[in-house]
Amino acid sequence: MADPSSLSTTQAFYDAIAVDYAELFRTELDVKPVDRALLTAFAELARTADLGPVADLGSGPGHVTALLHSLGVDVFGVDLSSEMVAVARRLHPGLRFDQGSMTALDLADGSLGGVVSWYSLIHTPPELLPAVFAEFHRLLVPGGHLLTAFQVGDRPMHVEQPFGHPVSLDFHRLSPDQVEDLLRATGFIVNVRTVREPVSTEKTRQACLLAQKPAIS
Ligand SMILES: C[S@@+](CC[C@H](N)C(=O)[O-])C[C@H]1O[C@@H](n2cnc3c(N)ncnc32)[C@H](O)[C@@H]1O
């Protein structure tokens, strides 16, 4: 898939805010027990399947990567923003973080046992989601699991000058029905879908889908 022009805007946005973002969200999972439960369930599935490494795509400062690692998952992070990768490496020196885009990763077909996209699809223009899901499907080994979380809604939220930095970006809110349909159309089985009410500083309901590339029988 050709890199969309939105990538450079997204990269510049997260390069500018990486340090502040890491500080703000450092302990966010502490107040989100349902999210921890979903990530823990994914970790158990990935560990039990034992099909290969898990990639946390759009890993940001790496706290989800670190949680999965603490749960025994062979996991590494990938992020578009070199500053986010630098922050994640500094905060989690024992873990691997690479710079790259989930739209086209330099990884072989079927080389991943699992994919996590935790609030990182939200900067992909919705019309490009089928191509991103096709990339996840290509990367996963048959039987591999995909976990994705996103804000629910039908209009993007425009963020201007976060933490006082002179950048702005659209955050796409998504329809769980549409994401589920797209995943099925790509060839995934959707095993779990949750929608929960907002907690903490969240403004909208939050969705999570657990899908799987069919195993070869
Ligand atoms: C809202 S943050 C979420 C970070 C982390 N997953 C978390 O839950 O805190 C979105 C992250 O996705 C990254 N991102 C956005 N588009 C990406 C792409 N095409 N490939 C890789 N990372 C991307 C951004 O750089 C940013 O770090």
Domains of the chain from N-terminus onward: 6-212 (3.40.50.150)
pLDDT at 128 over 80: yes
User: Alpha carbon of 29 to those of 186, 205, 207: distances in Å?
Assistant: 30, 16, 15
> How many Å lie between the centroid of ligand 1 and the Cα of residue 141?
23
Which pLDDT band, with edges at 50, 70 and 90, does 145 fall under? very high
- pLDDT score of 5: 78
Residue nearest to atom 4 of ligand 1 (CA): 60
Predicted local confidence at residue 6, as pLDDT: 87
Q: How confident is the model at residue 193 (pLDDT cuts 50, 70, 90)?
A: very high
Whether 210 is in the pocket of ligand 1, judged by its Cβ within 6 Å, is no
Average pLDDT over residues 100-124: 97
> What burial class does residue 160 get, using C-beta atoms within 10 Å of its C-beta: 0-12 exposed, 13-18 middle, 19+ buried?
exposed
Does residue 58's CB lie within 6 angstroms of at least one atom of ligand 1?
A: yes
The residue whose CA is least distant from atom 7 of ligand 1 is 60
- DSSP assignments along the chain, one per residue: -PPPTHHHHHHHHHHHHHHHHHHHHTTGGGG-HHHHHHHHHHHHHHHHH--S-EEEET-TTSHHHHHHHHTT--EEEEES-HHHHHHHHHH-TTS-EEE-BTTB-S--TT-EEEEEEES-GGGS-GGGHHHHHHHHHHHEEEEEEEEEEEEB-SSPEEEESGGG-S-EEEE--B-HHHHHHHHHHHT-EEEEEEEE---TT--S-EEEEEEEPPPP-
Residue type, 147: L
Mean pLDDT throughout 84-93? Answer: 98
CA distance 78 to 116: 10
pLDDT surpassing 90 at residue 93: yes
Q: Is 62 left (phi over 0), alpha (psi -120 to 50) or beta?
A: left
C-alpha 2 – ligand 1 centre gap (Å): 18
Burial class (CB in 10 A: 0-12, 13-18, 19+), 173: buried
Is the CB of 119 within 6 Å of ligand 1? yes
Q: Average pLDDT over the chain, rounded to whole?
A: 96
What does the alpha-carbon distance between residue 163 and residue 169 come to, in Å, rounded to a whole number? 13
To test the ligand 1 pocket, which listed residue (13, 35, 38, 120) has its Cβ within 8 A of the most ligand atoms? 120
pLDDT classification of 158: cutoffs 50, 70, 90: very high
CA distance 77 to 56: 5
Range 98-107 average pLDDT = 97
Q: Which atom of ligand 1 is nearest to the CA of 60?
A: 27
21 pocket-lining for ligand 1 (C-beta < 6 Å): no
Percentage of the residues of the chain whose pLDDT score is greater than 70:
98
Check residue 3 and give its pLDDT: 58
